[in-house]
């Protein structure tokens, strides 16, 4: 319709064209806040894994020094809980770092190495069970990886502006 074809009293006005509608911008900001919340969960659960490994080391050492069956039960229960939390770390990274596959891959290493560590228990009744040494060694790897993941997540949160969402994390 041209200007001359408009009914009497109507004026032609140009409507602004929005490249990114406000609702889309709000949705993106909300998604960034959700991702940031999952990075917080990632940091928190990675720290829980680190504390869990230390608790397991304490409980098995106490058991070996004669603390009794409760210490062994604490070690076994702590191992189950810690391994379960390792999976939560990965799931939190999957959402919090969606699209940043290097971070997600490092988080996946935690439950993978944790599973290998559990499989390396070996026969605890047999003397000279060298395989049990690998169980303890992999526990240290899980501890160091959990701390490194928590530090990486903390750096991501420190770099993220609070009102505009998350930026790309430091590698």
* pLDDT single digits (tens) 34-54: 999 999 999 999 999 999 999
In angstroms, the CA 145 to CA 45 distance is: 12
CA distances from residue 22 to 18, 19, 29 in whole angstroms, order as listed: 8, 9, 10
Q: 56: Cβ–Cβ under 8 A, 6 or more apart, which residues? A: 75, 78, 79, 82, 139
Report whether pLDDT(162) > 60. Answer: no
SS3 (DSSP) at 26: helix
In angstroms, the CA 118 to CA 132 distance is: 10
DSSP 115-128: HHHHHT---TTSTT
Give the closest residue to 26 by CA, choosing from 166, 164, 168.
164
The C-alpha angle with vertex 70 and arms to 69 and 76, in degrees rounded to 5, equals: 90
The domain ranges of the chain are: 49-158
Q: How far is CA 103 from the centre of its chain?
A: 9
The confidence score (pLDDT) of residue 127 equals 66
- pTM here? 0.78
* pLDDT single digits (tens) 56-83: 999 999 998 999 999 999 999 999 999 9
Give the closest residue to 61 by CA, choosing from 53, 167, 142.
53
């Amino acid at each position: 319709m041209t200007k001359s074809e408009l009914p009497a009293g109507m004026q032609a006005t140009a409507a602004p064209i929005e490249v990114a509608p406000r609702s889309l911008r709000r949705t993106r900001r909300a998604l960034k806040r959700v991702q940031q919340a999952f990075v917080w969960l990632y940091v928190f659960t990675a720290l829980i894994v680190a504390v869990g490994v230390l608790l397991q080391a304490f409980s098995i050492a106490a058991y070996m020094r004669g603390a009794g069956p409760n210490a062994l039960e604490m070690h076994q229960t702590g191992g189950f809980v810690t391994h379960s939390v390792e999976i939560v770390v990965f799931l939190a990274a999957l959402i919090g770092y969606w699209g940043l596959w290097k971070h997600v891959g490092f988080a996946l290493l935690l439950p993978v190495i944790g599973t290998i560590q559990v499989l390396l228990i070996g026969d605890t009744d047999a003397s000279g069970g060298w395989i049990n040494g690998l169980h303890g060694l992999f526990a240290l790897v899980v501890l160091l990886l959990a701390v490194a993941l928590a530090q990486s997540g903390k750096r991501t949160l420190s770099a993220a502006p609070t009102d505009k969402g998350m930026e790309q994390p430091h590698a």
